[in-house]
Amino acid sequence: MTDHLTPLDDAIERLHAAWSGALDATGLTRQQLMAANDALGAVRRLTEALQSEVAAGIASESRSSLGPDSLAKQQGFRNASQLIATTTGMSTAEASRHVKVGEATAPRTDLVGDRLPAKYPAVQAALWSGALGAGTTGLIIALLDRVRFKISAEHLAAAEEQLVEKAAGQSVDDVRKLLTRAEAWLDPDGVAPREEEIRAQRAVTMFERDGAFHVNGVLDIECGAPVRAALNAYVSAQFAARKDAIDPDAPDADHRTVAQLQADGLSAICAHALGCDNDAPALAGATVIVRVAVDDLVDGTGYGTVDGIDTPISIGAVRRMAASGGVIPCVLGTDSEILDWGRRKRFFSTAQRLALAERDGGCSMCGLPPDMTRAHHIRWWQRDAGPTDLDNGVLLCESCHHRIHDNGWDIRVEGTGVAARVWFIPPPSVDPSRKPRLGGLARYTLAA
């Protein structure tokens, strides 16, 4: 057995051990379910790594320069991707992704046949070890390919190392957030052109069909941020009213889904704008907060971010939005606000919440946007006499707040100010080693 298959063999052995004594998954204990899930994840990632290697080999043997001797053509297919997709049951797009990942992580040779490192060695190591799957590595490779000729080789290598480290243990959805911010950081000059391209595609269409009124929209971030803020505020207000209801199980209780609430919110906001006599929708806190570094704002370089939205915006968009109503420009780099109140105040101030949103990016545990969170004391105000200071505060949604208190999680903040890092320490029942898990915006931010 080759060394390349050893990690896969080890993962399969772990799966057998986790499944020991059970006929099917219904007979597994919670501990066995978690062990089986971890082993299956490793098997999937390692299998994808091998699939990418094989795909790159098939693509090499199917290159157009081989003519009729192309492997794909000999097997009756137009190209390597079609061959792989048909024989494995995956889509052609997925097969093409495997080819690209395999080619970017395969060892290379120079003109005289000497062996060279892979195009992206850190990605290769993470893929072959099973730390990252082909889907995640494909996203990282695509980003590195886009910026490789815009930054220095040293900068590119450092970014590759950080992206691999940050992506490990994260879902593909969270990796997309990481890469969205990373691209703006690596190529700030590209933010405005990408923004203009998307802005040119903005559109809202409305039509009636089958007794329903359909609204479809595609908005750029600058246009969409106020819409999102208003609808989220409406939904939050409805959930608060639902929570305060005397009998939430009554026949007339509000059981609308989030999507239904957003639809009702859009209608209510538009009706109010037309001057109807109905009660105004509760939009307390329906404010767009745009964050930008003071140096970038002055110099006209870099980019800004909007609370609750992953995609960065250009400095031009920051300036335009800052001139609009309902938008708070949060310029970072000054010391004009008091961020630590000690025991003088129980509730976190607006300035502190803004700072916590800059540090945590929303719910520090699950990532919900800031307007769906509350600032909580890490060391409780009453039980622990915890101060109302920035390093004793954390933004949490209602669900994560209960999860932490009910299940015995601990929170630790390292550092000071908005650059601090928040760590969540699981209880022994979740992880006997209690390995800290990084939370907050640091999960999606590369170091300078």
Average confidence (pLDDT) per 10 residues, the chain, 448 residues = 80 93 88 94 95 94 92 93 94 94 87 83 94 94 93 93 94 92 90 89 92 92 88 86 72 84 89 61 60 80 83 85 66 55 73 85 87 86 80 88 85 86 91 91 80
78: β partners: none
Maximal CA-CA distance, the chain: 81
Neighbours of 151 (CB within 10 A): 15
Is pTM, for the whole model, over 0.75? yes
* Distance separating alpha carbons of residues 329 and 307, to the nearest angstrom: 11
pLDDT of residue 280: 46
Strands 327-332 and 437-439: unpaired
Task: Measure the CA angle with vertex 437, ends 43 and 409; round to 5°.
Answer: 115
Integer CA distances (angstroms), 109 to 117, 123, 126, in order: 8, 18, 21
**Cβ partners under 8 Å of residue 88, min gap 6:** 51, 95
Query: 445: which 2 tokens?
Result: 């931010």
Contact 347, 408 (CB under 8 A): no
* Distance separating alpha carbons of residues 403 and 411, to the nearest angstrom: 12
**Domain extent listing, the chain:** 3-188, 229-281, 288-332, 350-444
Name which of 185, 198, 108, 179 is nearest 150 in CA terms: 185
Contact 368, 346 (CB under 8 A): no
Contact 320, 222 (CB under 8 A): yes
